[in-house]
Each structure stands twice: as structure tokens, then as C-alpha cells.
Amino acid sequence: MMRFLRAHGADPGPTQRPMLAGALTGLAAALPAAAVFVGFGSFEVAADEVMRLPRPLAAALMLAAFTLAGLIYGRLFGRAANDPGAGWMLGLAYGFLLWIAAPMVVLPLLRGPAMAAGTAATGFLAAFLVWGLVAGVLFRFVHRPLHAGLDGDGGRMARIGPSAGLDKLLRRPSR
């Protein structure tokens, strides 16, 4: 899939900052996801019985994890994450994959075979889907103000200036 994304030009290029945008988006999307966690009673189960950590520490860890997940989302999807038509779907799919990975694989590996059940389990799935959906929709709005414009080229000259015409394989380091 990553080869496919690259082949179709998902490379963000020198004007975009997808990882920063992803991290900010991930953090922002954690808020509605947290509301779902709490609403379904999933948070207390996760903190007390699955992670077995003090609740403030568990909450901080979750926020950090969602921020990191957003950063990885931006890195993975790059330019494609800006797509207004498909952003929601990319986010939703990513949230679903995180749901499979986090409470079902990562936590059991780290803390032993304990998983939320009943309504709390439904809350887990719903929270990850909400996080993914919100992150996918929000990404381009968060990202756009972070774009560097066409003006100014800073450190991008190697990618866009006359030296971009050099053959990379034959390029010699300057002394």
C-alpha cells in the first residue's frame, strides 16, 4: 500500500509538514475519543484493570499515544491525507487498525491477557473509530496553515533549484 501511495505522488514535497499536522490532529481528535471512552465506561476499565495504572497517568499515556499515532498517520499518508474526499475514510481505516493493534495486541503483550468486555469493549471500538474519523477530517484543516507557501525557499534549493537537475547517483559531495 505504501508503494502504491508513493507511486501516486503522496510524497508531501518541501512545502508540507504532515508529521507536525498529524501530531496536532491526533491530539485534537483525542478529545472526542476521550469523551466516548468515558461515556461507555471504557476508560476506568482500561486504566484500572487492563493497564493497571493510576488514572491521570493512564490518561496522559493515552493522549501521548494518540498524538504519536497522529504523527505516524501524517508520515504514512503524506499528501494523500489532505484529500477532502477521502480524508475521513483514511482516518477511519487507520483508527480501525489502531483498535486492532492497541487494545488487542499491544496491551495484552505489555500487561498480560486482559481485555475490556461488554459495553466497555464497545466503547473501545467506538472511541478508536471516532478518533480516526475526526483525525481524518481535521487533518487538512490543521495542515493548511502549516504549509509553506510558494514564496521563499529556505533550505529547499537542493530539491527545486538548478542542482535538482543533477543525477543523484553521480553527485559528488562538495568539499
The answer to whether the beta carbons of residues 131 and 31 sit under 8 Å apart is: no
Closest approach, Cβ 13 to another protein, in A, equals 4
Handedness of CA 124, 27, 50, 95 (dihedral sign): positive
Task: Write down the residue that cell numbers 466497555 correspond to.
Answer: 120
CB of 37 or CB of 67, closer to another protein: 37
Residues forming contacts to another protein in the complex (CB under 8 A) are: 1, 4-5, 8-11, 13-16, 41, 45, 49-50, 79-80, 82-86, 89-90, 92-93, 100, 104-105, 108, 113-122, 125, 140, 147, 150, 153, 156, 159-162, 164-168
CB of 67 or CB of 139, closer to another protein: 139
Q: How far is CA 48 from the centre of its chain?
A: 26
Q: Phi and psi of 174, rounded to 5°?
A: -75, 145
CA distance 35 to 114: 23
Closest approach, Cβ 16 to another protein, in A, equals 7
Closest approach, Cβ 157 to another protein, in A, equals 8
CB of 18 or CB of 70, closer to another protein: 18
Handedness of CA 110, 115, 120, 124 (dihedral sign): positive
CB of 39 or CB of 108, closer to another protein: 108
For the record, the C-alpha cell of 100 comes out as 486492532
CB of 32 or CB of 122, closer to another protein: 122
CA distance 134 to 171: 44
Closest approach, Cβ 134 to another protein, in A, equals 16
Closest approach, Cβ 116 to another protein, in A, equals 6
For the record, the C-alpha cell of 82 comes out as 489532505
